[in-house]
Amino acid sequence: LLGICVGMQLLASRGDEGAAHAAGTPGLGLVPGRVQALPGLGCTGRVPHVGWNIVRAHRSAPLLAQLPADTDFYFVHGFAFVPDDPADLLASTDCGVPVAAAVQRGAVLGTQFHPEKSGRAGFQVLRNFLGLAPC
């Protein structure tokens, strides 16, 4: 499963977007964590964050294979996923503070960026994902 943008955010246990109470809005809980507003995380840039940002891998992962270090991807978001377990964080981007750009827990993956709008690097991410699927 690959969640893209809000699809990645839905993978979380809870989210603050549209939440009527402090506990937040329930998510799918496939990757434990919480989705929070960028300003609440200390982000200093314009919200929503729209545009190209460098993505820095935190560990080696098949989803990010064959990509040069510090590759730019296209983002459109006002919220960010904060995983409960740092091991679930594949990559981050800088919005004044580091925020999750990609997560993975087992066969569940997510990208905050839009691979389909990120040119060759985005197509490589999609090819990498398709290569993970069992035949």
- In three-state secondary structure terms, 7 is helix
As annotated, the active-site residues are 5, 114, 116
Report the residue count for the chain. Answer: 135
Distance from C-alpha of 48 to C-alpha of 33, rounded to nearest angstrom: 21
Beta partners for 91?
A: 57, 102
**Distance separating alpha carbons of residues 94 and 31, to the nearest angstrom:** 21
Spatial CA neighbour of 49 closest among 15, 80, 6? 80
Contact 97, 45 (CB under 8 A): no
